[in-house]
Amino acid sequence: MGPAAAFLGLLQGKAAPRAFSAGYRPRWGLLISASGAAGRRQRAGGRAAAVTFCAPLRPLGPRTARGVAALVPFPSRESIKGKAKLRLRECDVGDKFSHLPLRKASVLLPLLLRDGALCLLLTVRSMQLRRSPGEVCFPGGKREEIDKDEIDTALREAKEEVGLQPEKVEVICRLVPGIDKMNHLVTPVVGFIEDTFQASPNPDEVSDVFVVPLEYFLKPLNYVALPYKNKGYLSWMHCFTYDDHEHKKSFKIWGLTAHFAVFLAIVIFRTKPTFEVHYDLDNLITSAENDFLNLYASISERKKSSL
């Protein structure tokens, strides 16, 4: 073990090391071995010696807790966000698909940290809406003439729907788009928002706002793949049920919203989900773009055949 290195492991008392004083055999404890500052408290031949001791698993005092925390490096908020941003930027498609002759729409995928975990903010559409009332979705909507690009659309819609000010969003990238059931080209715009953001839902458009740990879209507790046919195109749809204990509600997340959430989770965590997906994790962007282009080609062919 090199200077300032540390090792923590669970230790059963009967296997206690010789360094323990006679008669002291806690049943369970933390085996802590450290050198450096701790080691300098004991001297052996004028050199710092490593200290090994067993800390019983009981509430720690403030000084002990600080000492243990110094030995165990936990990821900081900045490092979690920094790693996510790097991976997202690697998958930024920019305006690569903006030229396609489809009506345009955008959604904002708002990321934030809660209890040290990346989370996604989602909304529930108002029951007053004519299309898809009561469904879970991301803030977003159709492109308008005032919008310069997909990012403008996503930010404008998020402000209108949940009161999220555009300057409070750190836009990171645009991911591979999708095509909704109305044949809109829907671009997912990913951005970080403040962890303390409090939504102000527009009741005409949004009935609820909640957050879901991003990892849930890789390791869900309640998941099913639903077959669906869209104008002759047969595929499978992700469908999650998320139990929100804070609001004491369950939310069904499916369709294009679930599709974007799953892809976002794969991009950031680079981990295969517990359910089947068709992406090649070794060539993630290429496989995602190919899937999208196959869908687009299928829709284009159907349009031509119906003329």
Report d(CA 303, CA 293) in Å as an integer.
Answer: 15
| Chain segment 160-180, per-residue pLDDT in tens | 999 999 999 999 999 999 999
| Chain segment 205-219, per-residue pLDDT in tens | 999 999 999 999 999
β-partners of residue 142 are 105
Among the listed ranges 9-13, 84-88, 128-132, which one has the minimum average pLDDT value?
A: 9-13
Report d(CA 169, CA 25) in Å as an integer.
Answer: 54
User: Mean pLDDT across the stretch 120-129?
Assistant: 96
Report d(CA 293, CA 178) in Å as an integer.
Answer: 10
Q: pTM to 2 decimals?
A: 0.76
Provide the pLDDT confidence category of residue 62 given band limits of 50, 70 and 90: low
Phi and psi angles of residue 243, each rounded to the nearest 5 degrees, phi first: -90, 110
| Chain segment 6-49, per-residue pLDDT in tens | 333 433 343 444 343 344 444 444 444 444 444 333 333 444 44
Q: What is the pLDDT of residue 181?
A: 87
- Residue 86, SS3 per DSSP: helix
Q: What is the pLDDT of residue 57?
A: 46
Provide the pLDDT confidence category of residue 298 given band limits of 50, 70 and 90: confident
Residue 67 predicted with pLDDT over 80 = no
Kindly list the distances between the CA atom of residue 149 and the CA atoms of 144, 162, 187, 189, 191, in Å, as whole numbers in the listed order: 9, 20, 10, 11, 15
